Amino acid sequence: MSRLLSFVLGLAVLSISYFYTFGIPSWIPLGTGSEVEESAAGSKGGGPRGAGGRSRGGATVVTVGEIEYASFNDTLRAIGTSEAINHVDVVSDVAGQVEEISLTSNTPVKAGDVLLKLDNRTQSINLEIAKASLKQAQEQVSRYEKLGTGNASVVSAVTVADAKTALSQAQLQVSLAENALEERTIRAPIDGILGLSRIKTGANLANGTTIVTIDDIEQLLVEFELPERALGLLALQKEVLLSTPVFAGKVFKGEVYAYDNRIDSTTRTITVQAKVDNEDHSLLPGMSFSVRLINESEPSAFVPTNAISWTRNGSQIWIVEDGAAKAVPASIVMRQQDNVWIDTKLPAGTQIVTDGTQKLRDGTKITASNAATTGERSKERKPKTEGEPIARRQPSSGEAGAAQ
């Protein structure tokens, strides 16, 4: 008997909760007394219930709005490091003692300017020896050519040929000696700014010693990483906005200069280089930069965040069709503040439910609590154009339970 009583009480509680939440179904006949009580309740409450409740006649009261179209900015952010667009390490190809030096740091140099001279006495002597041998070979060839003229030649053709070969070898020896002497003078290979050097006059350089660095900083390259979804936004000469803590509040404009030909399989990122002009030399290689790459989308549909509901199949919105609610799938493309951009073919102006979606089922009759002010609110809600793209959001346990 107690079990039966508990079952009846539980059923009564469930019925009362259902009627309170969803209203009394239209198929249940209501007597005159019930109508009087409902009328009295309406008089006390000042009208129908708020959004999510039931009005007279069984219609659910909700807040409605409209689908609007606007562009949004898909902004990608990263941290990058700068480097000179052209830079070299000047390395000695020969060993020797430093005799003369011109390595003042942070000074500009032109390609071909003398940076350093090594002791070249031995190379100068070798050059003089080579030149003397060349002169002797030239005189030998001239003498043989004179003796070989006329009918009674006293010099054979073979001798003349050997003399000419010796002349050619002597010329090559002079070239080698000149090259060896030139190597004792180290020159700037490019235009740029000299770095810090620790080489001093009188020091003995070993072969392969790094003497100084030269950076061409008229333009800098800022290298950074972007997620793989950015691949579709990358294009050469696309504008990039750069900022650095060194110049707080100042934005430098650059452009995409190059990007890698593959995605990193571990980080799922792609390496990108942006080029920025630096004619005043205010920026230096090695500085850190905050990078923004902005892409403005085509106008697309957006709705208030509250208009999105979730089911097992993903996100959806509720549209108003002939006074009833109808669920339409809507994939989220972008969310920014109180607005969500969705992938849908519904036209602008389509009425949607913006509040009270948790009480709706397909075909539920609805009444708009804000029918008179819907247009005005739509005009006031102007989204900003910059936001963060989001992946398809998974519904929380509470949302999933409500949707089910």
Question: How much is the pLDDT for 384?
Answer: 52
Sign of the C-alpha dihedral computed for residues 175, 180, 183 and 184 taken in this order: negative
CA-nearest of 321, 379, 312 to 346 is: 321
105 and 199 inside one domain: yes
pLDDT one-digit tens code per residue, 146-188? 776 655 566 777 888 888 999 999 999 999 999 999 999 999 9
8 and 154 inside one domain: no
Tell me which residues of the chain have a pLDDT lower than 50. 30-52, 55-56, 386-404
CA 317 – CA 342 distance, rounded (Å): 10
Question: How much is the pLDDT for 25?
Answer: 57
98 and 201 inside one domain: yes
Decide if 78 contacts 291 (C-beta within 8 A): yes
CA-nearest of 319, 281, 279, 312 to 404 is: 312
Q: Show the CA angle centred on residue 32, arms to residues 30 and 35, nearest 5°.
A: 70
Domain span at 31: 2-44
Question: How much is the pLDDT for 182?
Answer: 92
156 and 14 inside one domain: no
Which strands sit side by side in the sheet containing 114-118, from one edge to the other? 185-187, 114-118, 96-101, 204-205
The model carries a pTM of: 0.59
303 and 399 inside one domain: yes
Question: How much is the pLDDT for 399?
Answer: 42
CA 241 – CA 185 distance, rounded (Å): 43
Please count the structural domains in the chain.
4
Residue 342's H or E segment, with its range, is strand 339-343
Q: Is 189 part of a structural domain of the chain?
A: yes
Last residue of a domain, one of 271, 296, 321: 296
Question: How much is the pLDDT for 291?
Answer: 95
120 and 268 inside one domain: no
113 and 172 inside one domain: yes
pLDDT one-digit tens code per residue, 205-232? 999 999 999 999 999 999 999 998 888 7
CA 358 – CA 365 distance, rounded (Å): 14
306 and 281 inside one domain: no
80 and 222 inside one domain: yes
Q: Is 356 part of a structural domain of the chain?
A: yes
Q: Tokens standing for 193?
A: 């700014």
Question: How much is the pLDDT for 173?
Answer: 94
80 and 97 inside one domain: no
- Give percent above pLDDT 70 in the chain: 79
Q: What is the CATH number of the domain that holds 358?
A: 2.40.420.20
DSSP-derived 3-state class of residue 197: coil
